[in-house]
Homo-oligomer: A and B are copies of this chain.
C-alpha cells in the first residue's frame, strides 16, 4: 500500500542495502505493479520507480526481467507454502481439525488478498506458453496434493468412511479452492473471503458428515 517515498538524490543516508533486502523490495514492487497494471503492462521503469530506485537496478540484482518475474512467482509460492505450514502448526492434532485448518488457510486475509490473487492469475494466464511458470505452479500443486492426500486418508480412517475415492476427492477440493479464488477476483458483488470459506467448509461437511463440528 504505502507508496515508497522516492528518495531525493540530495538526501544523504539512503544508499546501500544488502542484496537480499533490495531483491525483496524489488519483488514486492513487482507484485504491486502486476496487481495494479497487469503482467503485460508492468515495465522495469514502473518497478524501479515504485521502489524509489534507478533504471538499471533490476538488471543489477536480477540480470534480466525474465529472471525478476520467475523469482517473483517463486516468492509468491514460498509465501503461500509458509502460510499453509503456519496454519497446520497451529491446528489441533486431529485429522479433521488439520484438514479444516489447511483449507481455511486458503481464505485467510494474508493469502487470499485480492492483490496476490490477481498476481497468481496473471501468471496462470501465461502458464501454457512459459514452461518456467508452469514448473513452479505444478510444484506448488504437487506439494499441496501430497499434504491433502495424507489428511484425507487419515480422516477416512478416523471416521471409517466408506466409498470415498480419495484422489478424486482431492481433485475436487483443490479445484473448488482455485475456483473460489476466481470468484473472489471476478465477482461483481464482491464475494467475500468469509463467504468463500463458508462454501468450502459446507462442502467438507457434506463429504464428512461425522465431523461437521470441525468445519463450522
Contact = CB atoms under 8 A, between A and B. Distances in A.
A94 to B, nearest CB: 23
A89 B3 CA distance: 54
24 contacts: A35-B129, A36-B129, A38-B129, A40-B126, A41-B129, A118-B127, A118-B128, A121-B124, A122-B126, A141-B186, A141-B187, A165-B202, A171-B180, A171-B183, A171-B195, A171-B199, A172-B199, A172-B203, A175-B183, A175-B199, A176-B179, A178-B179, A178-B183, A179-B179
Interface stretch (A15-23, A77-85, A130-138): A130-138
A121 B127 contact: yes
Interface of A: 35-41, 114, 118, 121-130, 134, 137-138, 141-142, 165, 168, 171-172, 174-180, 182-183, 185-188, 191, 195, 198-199, 202-203, 206-207
Contacts of A40: 39-40, 126
Contact of A121 (B38, B121, B172, B175): B121
